[in-house]
Structures are given as structure tokens and as C-alpha cells.
Amino acid sequence: MKLGVVGLPNVGKSTLFNALTQAGAQSANYPFCTIEPNYGIVSVPDARMDYLAQIYHPQKFTPAQIEFVDIAGLVKGASKGEGLGNKFLSHIREVDAIIEVVRCFEDDNITHVDGSIDPLRDVTTINYELIFADMETVQKRLDKALKFQKTGDKKFKVEAEACQLILDELEKGNFARNIELSEEQEEIMHSMFLLTDKPIIYVGNIAEDQVGKNDLPVLQPLLTYAAEHGSEVVTISAKIEEDLAGMDEEEKQLFIEELGIGESGLSKLIKKSYSLLGLISYLTAGEKEVRAWTITKGTKAPQAAGKIHSDFERGFIKAEIVAFDTLKNDCNGDMQLAKEKGLVRQEGKEYVIADGDVVLFRFNV
């Protein structure tokens, strides 16, 4: 599961990517600094895991992970080959969700490709390029469907109708994922891997001296736009986060207090990215290892067990489960006590695993 960092050139994408991954990608004050994508793996912060580690002092500590891809900047006309154009749109096609970086910081020394700070104009520019690229994809599919409709196969008629509907909505500026479709049409839509079918989080990249301030006027249009399109905004100063990422823990704490920023914007962004992908974690805890296992929402117990080992799925008998909050609040993290109190549930094959379930699988092969 990958998230792509997307936006205009020179808005702080690589700076944010470096803060997230500490991968040391090149970032500099000129447009199109990044050409080839940079990839990096990031651990998902989880206070529940930290708590379990304090209880178990495990030999191994394995948090959930997600991958970020730093993609080259897009400009107006990219879908028609402007800037570095179509090639970069294809890098976006590879990812499962989009982190769209929007420049909100004023700094006369940092070039803005469109000459001024205007977050709403910028998101509109980027999103229209995504929409235009999608329109091209759907048009191609529509042409094909219309051609094959002559064969009399009803499948192509349904396909052509769906494509026409999607095309009309895209033309109005709507994102594919927000179009109301029947189940059958939805399936056709997903099969085209449209860019605007991917969920988006907007990152308002603010200046150092804007950090910790509420109701920044520069953010308001972006907040409204995001809300109207069913997305969230995370505000971050990528520059500060990059500096923070390079510090040791003590230095970092001092700096965070000085800035008055509480939880780092970065951990907020990583957690939101994880749920944007539709992912949740179940936990296993013992002296050997405390570990978060990544599953998609709605996964049943045997398939979740299969993440650990295919034998666990094949020979699944039952899952012994206690919700993390119950374990912490009612049993001080003591699994034995949870058992004695009858708080550990026995769940079967149809049980849908919940986020934060602490699990022990019973299996037989």
C-alpha cells in the first residue's frame, strides 16, 4: 500500500517526504528538482504499541508500516504533456492514495511556479490535471465500448453507459470517487484505475512562524474546498518537520515545547494516511515480540491470522481477543487478569477483527 506525495513543483514535497522517511531525497529551491520518484517506508506511530512494549519489554518491537512515494511536480497542462507531463501522472497511477502538498507559506526567496501564494488556485490546478487525465482514460474506454457494442454483447452497452455518466461528471469537475454509481458501474469505474478515484489528504505546508496558530486566514479556502470534496487537511511546516526529524529525542522535545505544537503534525499525517488507505491494526503481544499487523477494514479472523502465517489461516480454530482499551483500562495491561475476569472473548471464523484487538490465534495443522 503506497501513498504518493503530489503537488505543484517547489512546494515542499521532497522536504515533507524527507521528514516522513528520513530518506534524504534531494530537495532544493527550484522547480522540477525531483524527476524520478523516491520511495520510503514509514512506521505508523501507535500509542497502544508503546504501552504494550512497556508491559512486555519485548525483544522485538514491530510497528505497522506504510510506503510513501515522492513524485515530481505537476503543472497546468500536465495531462497534455506540459512540464514533465504524462510520465508523472503515470507515477500517480501506481499509488493507492494521494497526499497533496499545497504551499501556504510566504517566502519571497522560494519560487512559486504561478507567481503568488494561492492555495485554492493551486489545488484546483492540480486536481483539474488529475480530472483531465481521467477524462482521457474514460474516453478511450468509451470509444472501445461503443465500437464493440455493435457485436450485440450487452456488456458493452452497460459499459458505454457507465463511461458516459462518469465522463459527464468529470467534465463538471467532480472526482470519480464522489460520483454516485450503481454497484455494476462502480466496478467498471474501479477497473479503470482513475486518479480521482484515489482518496486524498491535503497538506497545508505553512511557514515556521505560522505553526501552532489557529484560524490562519491563508488556510480557510483550502479547508472549505477539502470539506466540500470529502477530504481532510493536515497543516504542517514541512521545513520544521524536516529539522525535527534530524534531531535526537531530547532536542526534539525541547523544540516541540518551544514551538508549542503538541503532537507532531507528521505523526498526525502518518496516522491519517494509514486510515485513508482503509487500514487498521490488530496487535499481538508477548515477551518475544509486540507487533502491529496491518489488515484492511472488514477482514475476518481467519484471513487476519493468515497475515501471520498461512498455517494460521488454514488450521484456524478460534481467536482469543481482548480490545486494547479493555486490557489497559480494566486490567492494567495484564493478560492473565483479563482472562480471570472473563474479558478475553472467544471468536470464530465469522468474526470481523476490530482496530486495536489484542489477539491470540488458536490453530491446528
Check binding of 33 to ligand ATP (CB under 6 A).
Answer: yes
Q: Taking CB under 5 A as the rule, does residue 205 contact Mg ion?
A: no
Q: CB under 6 A: which stretch of 22-30, 125-133, 138-146, 171-179 binds ligand ATP?
A: 22-30
User: Is 12 annotated to bind ligand?
Assistant: yes
Q: At what angle do helices 324-331 and 47-56 cross, to 10 degrees?
A: 50
Q: Which residues pair with 66 in a beta bridge?
A: 42
- Say which entry of ligand ATP, Mg ion, none residue 255 contacts (CB below 5 to 8 A, set by partner kind): none
Stretch that binds ligand ATP, among 55-63, 231-239, 251-259, 351-359 (CB under 6 A): 231-239
Of the candidates 323, 327, 320, the residue with the CA atom closest to the CA atom of residue 346: 320
Q: Is 11 annotated as belonging to a binding site?
A: yes
Stretch of 9-17, 46-54, 57-65, 339-347 lying at the interface with Mg ion (CB under 5 A): 9-17
Q: Least CB distance from residue 203 to ligand ATP, whole Å?
A: 10
Count the Cβ atoms, other than its own, within 10 Å of residue 18. Answer: 23
Specify the DSSP class assigned to residue 38.
E
284 touches ligand ATP (CB under 6 A): no
**CA gap 104, 122 in Å, rounded:** 10
34 binds ligand ATP (CB under 6 A): yes
Question: Which of Mg ion, ligand ATP, none does residue 107 bind (CB under 5 to 8 Å by kind)?
Answer: ligand ATP
Site string for Mg ion, 34-73 (x = CB under 5 A): x---------------------------------------
Residues 6 or more apart whose Cβ sits within 8 Å of residue 224: none
Closest to ligand ATP by CB, 27 vs 294, is 27
Query: How far apart (Å, rounded) are the C-alpha atoms in residues 312 and 327?
Result: 24
Q: Which is nearer to ligand ATP, 135 or 222 (CB)?
A: 222
Give dist(CA 107, CA 97) in Å, integer: 29
Binding flag, residue 91, ligand ATP (CB under 6 A): no
Residue 107 in the binding site for ligand ATP (CB under 6 A): yes
b/e 118-155 (16+ beta carbons within 10 angstroms → b): bbeebbebbbebbbbbbbebbeebbeebeeebeeeeee
- Cα dist. 232→52, 95, 120, 129, 345 in Å? 30, 18, 14, 20, 35
Consult the annotation and say whether 21 binds a ligand: no
Please report whether residue 294 would count as binding Mg ion according to CB under 5 A.
no
Q: Which of 140, 109, 121, 311 is nearest to 225 (CA)?
A: 121
Q: Within positions 57 to 76, which residues make up the interface with ligand ATP, using CB under 6 A?
A: 72-73
Which residues here bind ligand ATP, judged by CB under 6 A?
Answer: 7, 9-15, 27-29, 31-34, 72-73, 105, 107, 110, 205, 207, 237-239
Binding residues for ATP, as ranges, are: 10-15
